[in-house]
C-alpha cells in the first residue's frame, strides 16, 4: 500500500493522474477540491460558507479542509491514498503528518507535477470552454480573474511545501508537460522504484 501526495499548481493535471491511479491501482483519491464542491452543491452549511471563497480562487480555512481529510482517513484505505489538492499550506502539511501517524500510516512520496504558467492558463481556459461546449457549465473558478488568484495562492501558500517535503527526502519531481500517458509512466517509475 502506497500513500502519495500529488503537488502542483491548478491545471497541472493532478486530478487526471489521480483518476488513472484509482482505476489501475485501486488507490483512493482524496481531493479536497471535489469534497468542497460536493459540500457546496449539496447546500450544507459548510458548503455555503466556502462557496464564495472558492469562486474567488482563495483558499478555504485549514480547519475546514483538515476536518474533511480527518474523516476520510478513518475510512477504507484500499491500495493507499492519493492526496490531490491537499495539503496546500504548511499548517495542512503538519496536520497531515500527525493524522497519518495517528492512523499508523506513512506518506511514501510527494510527486510534484512541474508545468509552466502559460500551459496552466491554456488548460484551464480550454477546460472551461469544453464544459460549456458539452452543454454544461464551467467551474465557477475557471475564469481568468479567479485563475490569477488561484495561481497566486499556489505560489504564496502552497509552493513552500516543495521545500518542506524536499527536506524530508520525499519530493519527486515529474515533468507535467508530457502527454497524459507520459506523465503516468513517470509517476509509475516513482511508485515502482
Ligand atoms: P485546482 O487544483 O484546479 O485549483 P481544486 O479542485 O483542487 O482545484 O480546488 C478548488 C478550490 O477549492 C481552491 O481554489 C480552494 O478554494 C479550495 N480548496 C481545495 N483544496 C483546498 C485546500 N487543501 N485548502 C484550502 N482550500 C482548498
Average pLDDT over residues 99-105: 95
Rounded CA gap, 158 and 153, in Å?
A: 7
CA of 35 to the centre of ligand 1 (A): 10
The pLDDT value given to residue 55: 97
173 Rama class: left (phi>0) / alpha (psi -120 to 50) / beta: beta
Residue 57 CB–ligand 1 contact under 6 Å: yes
Residue 40 CB–ligand 1 contact under 6 Å: no
CB atoms within 10 A of CB 112: 22
Give the whole-number percent of the chain exceeding pLDDT 70.
Answer: 100
pLDDT of 109 > 90? The answer is yes
The pLDDT value given to residue 192: 93
The pLDDT value given to residue 41: 95
Residue 124 CB–ligand 1 contact under 6 Å: no
Amino acid at each position: 500500500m502506497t500513500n502519495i501526495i500529488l503537488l502542483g499548481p491548478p491545471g497541472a493535471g493532478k486530478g487526471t493522474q489521480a483518476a488513472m491511479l484509482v482505476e489501475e491501482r485501486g488507490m483512493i483519491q482524496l481531493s479536497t477540491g471535489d469534497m468542497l464542491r460536493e459540500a457546496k452543491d449539496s447546500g450544507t452549511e459548510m458548503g455555503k460558507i466556502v462557496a464564495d471563497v472558492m469562486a474567488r480562487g482563495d483558499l478555504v480555512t485549514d480547519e475546514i479542509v483538515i476536518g474533511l481529510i480527518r474523516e476520510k482517513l478513518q475510512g477504507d484505505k484500499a491500495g493507499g491514498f492519493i492526496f490531490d489538492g491537499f495539503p496546500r499550506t504548511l499548517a495542512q502539511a503538519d496536520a497531515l503528518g500527525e493524522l497519518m501517524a495517528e492512523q499508523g500510516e506513512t506518506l511514501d512520496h510527494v510527486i510534484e507535477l512541474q508545468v509552466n504558467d502559460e500551459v496552466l492558463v491554456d488548460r484551464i481556459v480550454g477546460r472551461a470552454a469544453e464544459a460549456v461546449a458539452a452543454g454544461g457549465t464551467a467551474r465557477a473558478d475557471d475564469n481568468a480573474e479567479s485563475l490569477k488568484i488561484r495561481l497566486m495562492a499556489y505560489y504564496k501558500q502552497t509552493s513552500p511545501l516543495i521545500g518542506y517535503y524536499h527536506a524530508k527526502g520525499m519530493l519527486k519531481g515529474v515533468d507535467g508537460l508530457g502527454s497524459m500517458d507520459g506523465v503516468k509512466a513517470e509517476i509509475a517509475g516513482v511508485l515502482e522504484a
